[in-house]
Amino acid sequence: MHASKRLPSPRKTVLALATGLAASLTLSSVQAGDVEVLHWWTSGGEAQAANVLKELMEDEGHTWEDFAVAGGGGETAMTVLKSRAMSGNPPSAAQIKGPEIQEWGELGLLGDLDGVAEAQQWETLLPETVAEVMRHDGHYVAVPVNVHRVNWLWANPEVLDDAGVEMPATLDELFAAAEPLREAGYIPLAHGGQAWQDATLFEDIVLATAGTDYYRRALVDLDPEALGGEPMIEALSTFKRLRELMDDDMSGRDWNIATSMVIEGDAAMQLMGDWAKGEFTAAGLTAGEDYLCAPAPGTQDAFTFNIDSLAMFRVSDEGEREAQEDLARLVLEPTFQKAFNMAKGSIPARPDLDMSEFDRCAQQSLADFQRTADEGGLVPSMAHGMAVRAAVQGAIFDVVTNYFNDSDMEAEEAARRMVNTAQAAY
Amino acid sequence: MTLSTSLRQEGRAASRRSSSGRLQDWLPRLVLAPSVAISLFFVYGFMLWTFILSLTSSRMLPSYDFIGFAQYGRLMENERWWVASTNLVIFGGLFVVICLVLGAFLAILLDQRIRREGTLRTIYLYPMALSFIVTGVVWKWLLNPGLGLQAMVRSWGFESFTFDWLIDPDMAVYTLVIAAVWQASGFVMALFLAGLRGIDDSIIKAAQLDGGSLPRIYWRVVIPCLRPVMFSAVMILAHIAIKSFDLVVALTGGGPGYASDLPATFMYTHAFTRAQVGLGSASAMLMLGGVLAILIPYLYSELRSRKHG
Amino acid sequence: MDNVIRRRTPGARLARLALYAALLLAALFYLLPLAVMLITSMKPLDEISAGSLLALPQSPTLAPWAKAWGEACTGMRCEGVGGYFWNSFAIVIPAVAISTVIGALNGYALTKWRFRGSELLFALMLFGCFIPFQVVLLPMAQTLGWLGLSSSRAGLILVHVIFGIAFTTLFFRNFYVAVPTELVSAAKLDGAGFFRIFWRILLPVSAPIIVVSVIWQFTQIWNDFLFGVAFSAHDTQPVTVALNNLVNTSTGVREYNVDMAAAMIAALPTLVVYVLAGKYFVRGLTAGSVKG
């Protein structure tokens, strides 16, 4: 039952060495337990990477019970989680992120990870911005898995060359590139007309036109003055102008179809988070050569983050409790951080790792992460549920997507609605 | 020995043996009791529970902090709710009517002693066997102007052919009707076909002798006989319309914007995705109220008329 | 014998032609999505993104089918959807059987043993059809927790039975309403009991409606996703959950050919039921509505 009863594998020995400090700090009375993990890492690459974690857990003698539920960027998994919590039978760990961690914490359902955090020195290991999201009421209740950057622009260099345009660094350059691209027969910007994708573009534009301070006031603190103010109206009008860069058939299109339009050379660019890299990689393309990445135009000094994390539920079984702590520790081990983040396109949650095996975009991402963290440009992504609670996020989505798709609605009207609905949804 | 004599003998034996005449009177009620109890608890009890939640400020999970009818007020001011409700009227109405008409029409055609009837019937019926988790993807392709039917017809040389309902906020709800009709109309056809086969030939013959034309006979004689079938069909279709959820999620995702949202998706989105259980419960109550308002008169008239008939 | 169009006049022939044309056109409409699925499932991935929907595969392959059955990842298990079949059957078979039996008895009691208020009870139960599953998800979860049945197969079966009996009762009631009451009355006069009459008179003619009920319930429960995912344990998830994980994965490359193959595989049992039982389906419904 215990790991010690198994034959010691060379791999495990290496691992034990690698884990060093942390391993020596785990409690001496190792108990094996079952962890049921609810997550939505279901794509081939993700699943393989997550499998690394599973194997690490099994090497410690624990049993990993896999509960994967895909759909709607975790929406379905959250539904399952709520019904499991209602029945008094939550899983041991679940993929929960952002402010939602706080909501679960308020319900008193999460267990704390302070022991592991102290042993592994999370205070120094994790950037403060990341650590803050993982704490509820001063206690660590979740462990970060990765950091996605949302404000990226992806492009097909051949298409850009063919139309004679450069990778745009500002919004003006982006809009200016539209005409030559159209004339050369390309769609300037590939986009999928789904609420979250609309919102992803919207927050890029807010950052580009009004800057990070304003972004924080409007979309994180929900200051009504900022939300309904002049910068919002300007951002909304600019946002709607992006339609000129898109094709007519975008409605309902999945984001990865939009990415494949860039890969196929039908479209020149796409604004999307760094998970888009998975599509390019799968198509056999190399970052920096076959496809280009750059911060979304006008947002060089901003980094909108989207952090995946695993929250641990309060359990009574001692073995399960041990397993949860081991799980939290192993998530932050270099082995898993590297394997998982290279598959997912994100950067590790701990910035101290050697990034040489990562591609250029990831390297730039980490550099920008640290730079923006120092300069104050590191902001949570509203579109990806990091900035505000789900109710408010949904209300903003409704306004943004409706405004984007309704040719008659004025920006002033949309800004006014934004203030009202954000307040109504509290 | 005929069935009835054997039964009679067994029956006598039974009555001799048992003193349970009274039990026999109660048996039907006893048999029904569990189902009724289940309905009371799991349907009406849950409705009551949902109603109670709709009076609370419940967010992520139910809580019992009562705030009166405030959630209903918020719902009334929510534009998206009105879009969803209007859509249900449009979608539900068209879906039920088109399925009934198409189903009856196909059933009548199939009833004309068709070769390969079995094959055709299976073809019409199979969509009911598939879940929208996947057929939604196919419909999304087919209805996408750049990818599906429009592109196909244009590639045949009809350059001006346009079929872009999926991306038109005013028309997107009709694409839901198309896919839903595709799924359910074959089932309605089967119900009607069964009904047609059950009608006594002599009725039709008599009508023919009276000199009625075929369409007229169907309209005046045959279709009225199908009323019980119609009842089942309407119930099933209404149930599908109200519960339509996978379809919306898979086909339009409620879009463009939220132009093709339905109450079921509205409720789910708010109660689950957006952690507004109170508001979601209020929308569920209004939805059930709407269903009741339409169904009760229909049920009442059907069950009443059948009793006399 | 024919009372319908069969006179061999030119007009009738033309009508016959139009009839077949209309039927074939309808068949095309119903078959189109299936054709797209089938074609897509046999294309290599690069042909899908490049070509048109209905273009036949240039190098047809069954690899997506093999992958969908045994290799595709549905979470961390990369064993395809094949392994989930048993889970689905273990839920569907008991749930269908129980709800059909209950529906038959209910339908029988409601039509042949009417009592004051029985129609009202029927109407009451019927309303259960109209509750959207999303609405009952949370209360159901709590109830299952109370019963100690959360995340168990038995709990999931119970849920399907509860929300299935409204339909099975509707089917059987409408069928039994048309079975002549005279036989039942005679048997009652002779002192035959409730179950004996059901067993000897009603059940022997019920085959068709049983088929209807089984088809309906089988399809509904087999295709259910929401209850299946919310109320099953990690190792008893039905095939729709695996299918969803395959199809609705939101990051990484979507292999549409594998998606389509998996969808066809997951739908196979219901398709088989429809093809095999479709004949009885119509025949059965027919028998019931014959007026005695």
> What is the spatial distance between Cα A69 and Cα B302, in angstroms, rounded to a whole number?
43
User: Residue A15: pLDDT above 50?
Assistant: no
Alpha-carbon distance of A261 to A145, in angstroms, equals 30
Residue A26 lies in a domain: yes
CATH code of the domain containing A206: 3.40.190.10
User: How far apart are alpha carbons A25 and A76 in whole angstroms?
Assistant: 37
Torsion over CA of A51, A57, A60 and A65, rounded to 10 degrees? -110
| A182 and A293 belong to one structural domain | yes
Residues 6+ apart with CB under 8 A from B273: A72, A75, A78, A79, A390, A394
Residue A191 has pLDDT above 70, yes or no: yes
Most A CBs within 10 A among B58, B61, B141, hence the mutation to make, goes to B61
Residue A369 in any domain: the answer is no
Domain that holds residue A115: 3-148+307-360
CB C160 within 8 A of CB C221: yes
Distances in whole angstroms, Cα of residue A107 to Cα of each of A103, A111, A136, A417: 7, 11, 11, 31
Tell me whether residue A285 is exposed, middle or buried, using C-beta atoms within 10 angstroms of its C-beta: 0 to 12, 13 to 18, 19 or more: middle
Choose, out of C71, C251, C255, the residue to mutate when testing the contact with A (most A CBs < 10 Å): C251
Mean pLDDT of B22-48: 88
Q: By C-alpha distance, which of B19, B90, C75 is closest to A44?
A: C75
Q: What is the mean pLDDT of residues C199-207?
A: 88
pLDDT band for position B308 (cuts 50, 70, 90): very low
The domain made up of B78-308 has a fold known as MetI-like fold (1.10.3720)
Is the domain of A296 the same as that of A212?
A: yes
Does residue A101 surpass a pLDDT of 90? yes
| Inter-chain touch A256–C254, beta carbons under 8 Å | yes
Give the Cα separation of C1 and A121 in Å (integer). 90
Domain ranges of chain B: 78-308
A3 has a pLDDT exceeding 50: no
Confidence of residue C51 (pLDDT cuts 50, 70, 90): low
Give me the mean pLDDT over the B63-83 stretch: 90
Domain boundaries, chain C: 10-61, 82-289
Domain tally, chain A: 2
Is residue B122 packed enough to be buried (19+ CB in 10 Å), middle (13-18) or exposed (0-12)?
buried
Residue B36: what are its φ and ψ, rounded to 5°? -65, -40
Higher pLDDT, C248 or A372: A372
Task: Return the pLDDT at A399.
Answer: 93
C243 neighbors B134 (Cβ within 8 angstroms): yes
Domain boundary pick from A315, A333, A360: A360
Tell me the nearest-neighbour CA distance from A277 into chain C, angstroms.
Answer: 8
Please report the pLDDT score of residue C49 as a whole number.
Answer: 67
Chain C residues 166-185 within an 8 A CB cutoff of chain B: 166, 169-171, 174, 177-178, 183
Please report residues of A whose CB lies closer than 8 A to that of C144.
Answer: 87
Within 10 angstroms of residue B180's Cβ, the number of other Cβ atoms is 27
Q: How confident is the model at residue C183 (pLDDT cuts 50, 70, 90)?
A: confident
- Where residue C131 falls (left for φ over 0; alpha for ψ -120 to 50; beta otherwise) is beta
For residue range A270-318, what is the model confidence (pLDDT) as tens digits? Answer: 999 998 888 888 788 999 999 999 999 999 999 999 999 999 999 988 8
Q: Does C43 score more than 60 pLDDT?
A: yes
pLDDT, averaged across chain B: 83
Alpha helices in A153-194 (DSSP H): 157-163, 171-183
Residue of C nearest to B208 (CA): C3
pLDDT, tens only, B108-158: 998 888 888 888 988 998 888 888 877 887 888 888 887 788 888 888 888
Same domain, A287 and A354: no
**Nearest neighbour of A76 by CB, restricted to C76, C141, C229:** C229
CATH class of C82-289: mainly alpha
pLDDT of residue B4: 46
Same domain (yes/no): A208, A275: yes
From CA C201, how far away is CA A185, in angstroms rounded? 74
Domain co-membership, A384 together with A235: yes
Say whether both A232 and A214 belong to one domain: yes
Query: pLDDT tens digits for A366-404?
Result: 999 999 999 989 999 999 999 998 889 999 999 999 999
C244 and chain B in contact, CB less than 8 A = yes
* pLDDT band, very low/low/confident/very high, at B102 (cuts 50, 70, 90): very high
